[in-house]
Amino acid sequence: MNFEKDIDYVRFYSAQLRENPKLFEQHKKFLEAQLIASQSLFSNWKGKQFKEKCRTYLKERGLIIGLTENCCNFKEVTKHKV
């Protein structure tokens, strides 16, 4: 199936979630597992350097490429359009 725009896929997927309770439950379990994993990972990073540790972690995985010049606002430059 080809989607012309990202929103077409979002609409298709949301319709599938509404129509199929099993798919919804599977997706919900997946998101809950991701949340638990993230909480576990980041719970060890408390303290003054939390933001720096998070940035380093995300940069190492290629999820962000750097900071904008106005670093006081902590806006990250991403590789992907949101």
Is 70 exceeded by the pLDDT of residue 24? yes
CA distances from 20 to 10, 11, 16, 25 (A): 15, 14, 6, 9
pTM over 0.85: no
Residues 17-40 have a mean pLDDT of: 88
Mean pLDDT of the chain: 76
With tokens 């309770």, the residue in question is: 21
